[in-house]
Chains A and B, each alone.
Chain A
Amino acid sequence: MGSKSSSLNKIPNAQELMQETGFSAAHILRLYERFEFLDVDQMGELRPEDFGAIRELSMNPIGDRIISAFFSPGKETVDFASFVRILAHFRSTETNRTRDGAQPEPANSRTRKLKFAFQLYDQDRDGKISREELLQVLRTMMEMQVTEEQLQSIAERAIQEADLDQDDAISFDEFRKSMEKVDIDHKMSIRFLS
């Protein structure tokens, strides 16, 4: 497929991105096509409303949190490199090349994946999931009517189970510990990206 290397040339920093994220050339190309498709006004950057145009995403209970996860704090746009870096979290870990200790941890390691999920809760980035943040997420995910009391008791129970240092909030380590039995790699990987 000789055309691929020539099409890769139009993508800035394609080789570095491939190196950094572990995506193959085909995947980078595919993601670039998708990026261009989403970028309706062809500015080379995505804005929140471009994400919002994805119909199903807007119906997702945590859709807005996912969208905001693409944007680094303070920035209003996403360029292609950031787009790919975020999506690199969702590569399956099966195809990771063995790395030496000097390289930074790949984006799709289990810890990084969990960190991504953690940050969906932790909107104020203080490193802990407070009871209030947990309640917010619970409310959006519960589509049927649940009373406030029930929500409170669920959140209460969740914090009780995970909170080891009794500070009434869930830190990242506690979060990771509570998820140790779950197969994160399977759950948080998109098949065709692997």
Chain B
Amino acid sequence: MAALWTLSLLLSACLFWPACLALNPPAELPQPHNLPPSLGANSSDGGLSVDLPMPLRVFSVDYNHVQAPFEIVLWIMLASLAKLGFHWSGRVPAVVPESCLLIMVGLLVGGVIYGVRHSAPPTLSADAFFLFLLPPIVLDAGYFLPGKLFFENLGTILWYAVLGTLWNVLGIGLSLYGVCLLAPSSLGDISLLHCLLFGSLIAAVDPVAVLSVFQEMHVNDQLHILVFGESLLNDAVTVVLYKLFESFLRLPSVSGLDVLLGGCRVLVVGLGGLFVGLFFGLVAALTSRFTSRAQVIAPLFVFLYSYLSYLTSEMLHLSGIMAIVTCAVTMKQYVEANVSERSKTSIQYFLKMWSSVSETLIFVFLGVSTIQDVHMWSWPFVCSTLLLCLIWRATGVLLLTAVVNKLRRNTVTFRDQFIIAYGGLRGAICFSLVFLIDDFPKKRLFITTTIVVILFTVFVQGMTIKPLVELLDVKRKKRALPTVSEEIHSRLIDHLLAGIEDVVGYWGQHYWKDKFEQFNKKYLRRFLIREDHQAPSSILRVYQELERRDQRGDEEAPPLVDPRSHSRPLLPEEMDSIRRILSRNLQNFNNKTPAYSRHTLHQDATMDRTRKPLHRHQSLGERYTFNTQGEDGEFSGSRRGRAGLSRSHTVCSMSPRPVLQDSSVLAAPSQSRGLVDPKSSAVRKEQISSQHQAPDGRAPKKQLSFVLESEKQQ
């Protein structure tokens, strides 16, 4: 079957490679001496020789010449073929997350190499990881970050990231020191600072691992952004604490002043990374403004500037992850407005591809690096580390959530808390950090423990989180199934509250958002976006969107609930389907971005575009207004003029291009479907259809109707 085929490919690949290494020594001897001078000096030492009489070798292999790139390519090939194979292997990906499978492949390959060569296989060097493998993943995450959702939850995310990490680090470090004190025979030479150092690197939740597990789990967007945002932002805290404890270890003594300075450093590192990212993001946006004549290299600037921001902040010992994320978030809107469609697609695809390859490589190398000689085992240390990680994370999440729920309107439910706590996976960042520790007698113990923790979290927690969550859901469902009325009315009230908050101008959120929007429109956009792209005609935009959709076809049209027969007594299945419709439709009242998914680009791009205007989003100058129809005469006559068309189901989407404040009136004849009862007051607004079409085929395939309200002509 496909699985066997891939497995054989893998095995052949990894056998070929050590075979090459075995061939290496004898192959390089004969060539240089046999080339007659007349053949020219520029034939390289190891090249294939020409078919000439006797003394020359007809066919030779020179591995040294190509060794480095060859090996790299082989590793990447191995990882990618493995990934390919899993998706063909039937039901396995549903149960086992991809990261686990990749680690297992790494283990397998590492074992094979070890068996063949009887020495440790190559390990993941910290430099390679931090400089080459990590940036693409974080860049991809930052570029596709659902910005609105992120900023709305920023307070909570920071709360978890900073305080939660501190709690975990101190808790784990101190408890481990206690454990070491309790077992002085084997662990006596581990000092407090060492324990704290270890705590700082093991407490960090890893974005790579989290992403790879969560994307298979379909959690709601808010939860996703909480965990993911936390894993991104806690880098600042982790890096600082790690470097802090490391420098403390090198100092002869530690004073209170040093601790205070360390605290300041957290701020410096975090904010510094932020500013570096901002700077490079703005420069990138500016550069992209001038790429109209060389469109082919426009995507390159995105990558170069982001990578540059990462490297710069790493050079300055600031938080590289924060820099690259900030850079991506900053430049995204301007770059996307400036470059051509194809460049935009290229950027997105390249990002996805690189991050995918990186992630695969990381996990494979994690597996390979596990097979090595340097292990030192100690039962109490390892087991207590595992336990403490779980305990401290759980208590941390519970405590923090109890506080933060008082300040949020959407409370973080118990189920969410469980997922946050249990979904705190550790990954390759811990692994690389542990290798960077200065050598001391128990370093190998730390390495082993780190590997065990990573493997445990990825395998055990990664595989069991889905069933456990489903178990919790079942329990919750058994207790109190909300009635349909409750759901509808609750959602109405949610919308109501959102509206009232907007009326009142909830200070924290909207004030700054509005201020930023004004600043953005007045200065930034004018400066950073190409002249002719600043206000394209709405019709043109709509047209482009339609064309795009035509090209892509209807791939993302998961059928809605099967149409039920319209009969009076409702069966349980119908109840279920009703609930499903309601929850799917009413769920994201505030956050209309779809769940961020690592490996599907189209869904991101298209859904993002089609849903954007429906967000409570600073959609950059676009203003949508709507009113009730004037039959009840409640409002004065000087209301907005409207394109008097009844609303139909599908409306064309607006591409997220900027419009000037006074947007033009746009109306097109809609295919009125007579759904609105003409007697009652009809509510109008733009409705954005995603690629979903009515399952019963009543709606024609492509509905082009759309209505845009005009503003009141002043």
Contacts and interface: CB of A to CB of B under 8 A. Distances in A.
Contact of A150 (B506, B581, B615, B649): B581
Interface stretch (B116-124, B185-193, B381-389, B627-635): B627-635
A187 B501 CA distance: 12
B685 A59 contact: yes
A27 to B, nearest CB: 10
A8 interface: no
B666 interface: no
B489 interface: yes
Interface residues of A, number: 79
Contact of A146 (B485, B581, B589): B581
Interface string B502-514: 1111110010000
Interface stretch (B44-52, B198-206, B355-363, B686-694): B686-694
B504 A31 contact: yes
Contacts of A161: 483-485
Interface stretch (B63-71, B236-244, B254-262, B559-567): B559-567
Contacts of A181: 480, 486
Nearest to B636: A76
A145 interface: yes
Given A87-B500, A178-B489, A182-B486, A60 B495 contact: yes
Contacts of A11: none
Given A150-B581, A181-B480, A192 B640 contact: no
A18 interface: no
A59 B650 contact: no
A135 B681 CA distance: 12
Nearest to A160: B570
Given A147-B695, A149-B564, A141 B578 contact: no
A73 B680 CA distance: 17
Contacts of A162: 485
A194 B671 CA distance: 47
Contacts of B650: 145
Contacts of B480: 181
A56 to B, nearest CB: 4
Given A123-B681, A179-B489, A76 B625 contact: no
Contacts of B504: 31, 34, 87, 190, 193
Given A55-B623, A58-B624, A145-B692, A150 B502 contact: no
Q: Which secondary structure characterizes the binding site on chain B?
A: loop
Q: Which secondary structure characterizes the binding site on chain A?
A: helix
Nearest to A46: B503
Nearest to A174: B485
Interface in B464-484: 480, 483-484
Contacts of A66: 496, 499-500, 503
Interface in B255-290: none
B667 interface: no
A192 to B, nearest CB: 7
A157 B570 contact: yes
Interface in A111-143: 116-117, 120-121, 123, 132-143
A138 B495 CA distance: 12
Contacts of B585: 141-144, 146
A190 B694 CA distance: 37
Given A63-B626, A66-B496, A157-B484, A56 B581 contact: no
A14 interface: no
A94 to B, nearest CB: 11
A141 B491 contact: yes
Given A66-B499, A90-B497, A190-B500, A58 B694 contact: no
A155 B481 CA distance: 18
Interface in A144-172: 144-150, 152-154, 156-158, 160-162
A32 to B, nearest CB: 12
Interface string A69-91: 01101101000000000010010
A61 B489 contact: no
A147 B624 contact: no
B488 A145 contact: no
B575 interface: yes
Given A52-B640, A187-B497, 10 more contacts: A61-B589, A62-B495, A67-B627, A68-B635, A76-B636, A133-B680, A144-B690, A154-B484, A182-B489, A184-B493
